[in-house]
Amino acid sequence: MATLRVVHLLNQFFGGIGGEEMADVEPQAKEGPIGPGVALQEALGERGEVVATVICGDNYFAEDMDKAAEEILRLIEAHEPDLLIAGPAFNAGRYGPACGKVCQVVQERLGIPAVTGMYIENPGVDLFRQSTYIVETADSVAGMSEAMTRMVTLALKLHGGEKLGTPGEEGLIPRGVKKNVLAEDLAAERAVEMLLKKIKGEPFRSEMRLPAFDKVPPAPPVADLSEAIVAIVVEGGLVPPENPDGIEAARATRFAKYTIKGKDALGAGEFAPVSGGFEKAFGAENPNRLCPVDVLRELEGEKRIGKLHDDFYTTTGFATSLASSKSMGEAIADELKEARVDAVLLVST
């Protein structure tokens, strides 16, 4: 059997170019395996060869996905591959959608199998689960070896035209494709069997995969707002015009805080939204629509609140994963608790 030609897609971090400071790097191709590509080559063994690694910066891709995908496609096509392996991206919020988009384009335009891997809460999952094959991975690089093995196994099956098993059998994130199967037991019998196992505390597997959400009890009411320190947290991506902290337009992985000490209101030009989830013109025209400093200063002057906190916090909620939201929320909450803030106005778009 001829050795398969495999191209590997990585971001700037896994490609060994650099961290966030190199997230704007343009797509480029290098010969042979790099970084995680060594594990990919080991998983392939004699069945395939990593002939090239294509690397693209996270920010470069996120800013114009269609343009970046076309550039990457040309680099991949030049190496005449039989397979594309993208990532795995684990829970990286920009890397995942990049892997999914490139896999989708490669499948459609080059007609070859393309496989990627992501953690279930990566925003790339919901964006591309129906159009490409995504192997479920751990949420961090600690699961690299297992993820790479699963990705290679699936890619080789696809290339060989083998019939795939269920998502659970293949380690795949379900694509939403429904197929009729003949079960020995009636649905009612299977449901009762699962219920009895659940009651007994025995392991069981549902035939429907349900989302899991944290249950967060509401905080007790503020006893006296006239004595309370109130902070503002916004998810509209409101940042200074130069966006110094690199808050993403979608699938955010970071937050920032900016001072409003001594400000009675936010003026036009001081801040502007970067979120890709809504029309930004009105927020740029009057940033107080997203971060109501003007109204809260009035309430402060009327003694209806004790004090407006000196900083407001901002991130982008558009397409941001639950895992990233939880991580950022906990970090912001820790800072606000340390500052002895009593209440938070969470402004949603």
**Mean per-residue pLDDT over the chain, rounded:** 92
Q: What mean pLDDT do residues 132-149 have?
A: 92
pLDDT value at residue 320: 83
The pLDDT tens digits of the residues spanning 237-251 come to 999 999 999 999 887
Residue 331 has pLDDT above 80, yes or no: yes
H runs (alpha helix) in 12-91 = 37-44, 58-63, 65-77
pLDDT of residue 31: 96
Looking at the predicted structure, is the pLDDT value of residue 1 above 60?
Answer: no
Q: Please, which pLDDT band fits residue 215 given cuts at 50, 70 and 90?
A: confident
So what's the pLDDT on residue 278? 86
- pLDDT tens digit sequence for 161-208: 998 888 888 889 988 777 777 888 998 999 999 999 999 999 988 877
What ranges in 221-292 are assigned the alpha helix state H?
281-285
pLDDT confidence of residue 88: 96
Q: Are strands 28-31 and 48-56 parallel, antiparallel or unpaired?
A: antiparallel
The more confident residue out of 215 and 210 is 215
pLDDT digits (tens, 9 = 90+) for 264-280: 999 999 999 999 888 89
CA distance 121 to 322: 6
**pLDDT-derived band at 327, boundaries 50, 70, 90:** confident
Cβ(234)–Cβ(263) under 8 Å? no
Amino acid at 6: V
SS3 50: strand
Residue 17: both structure tokens together: 């170019």
Please give the pLDDT value at position 209. 67
Domain ranges of the chain: 4-170, 225-347
Check whether 214 has a pLDDT greater than 80.
no
Q: What pLDDT does 62 receive?
A: 86
The residue among 2 and 5 whose pLDDT is bigger is 5
C-alpha span between 63 and 86 (Å, rounded): 19
Domain 4-170 in this protein, CATH class: alpha beta
Q: Does residue 39 carry a pLDDT above 60?
A: yes
pLDDT of 257 over the 80 cut: yes
Residue 279: predicted pLDDT: 86
**Percentage of the chain modeled with pLDDT above 90:** 73
pLDDT of residue 337: 96
Place 211 in a pLDDT band, splitting at 50, 70 and 90. Answer: low
Q: Which of 95-109, 172-186, 218-232, 255-269 has the lowest mean pLDDT?
A: 172-186
CB 335 within 8 A of CB 294: no
Residue bearing the bigger pLDDT, 322 or 225: 225
pLDDT digits (tens, 9 = 90+) for 61-85: 988 889 999 999 999 999 999 999 9
Token representation of residue 254 = 């970071």
Name which of 234, 245, 261 is nearest 339 in CA terms.
261
The pLDDT score that the predictor gives to residue 212 is 67
Q: Identify which of 132-146, 210-224, 282-296 has the greatest average pLDDT.
A: 282-296
What whole-number distance in Å separates Cα of residue 128 and Cα of residue 134? Answer: 8
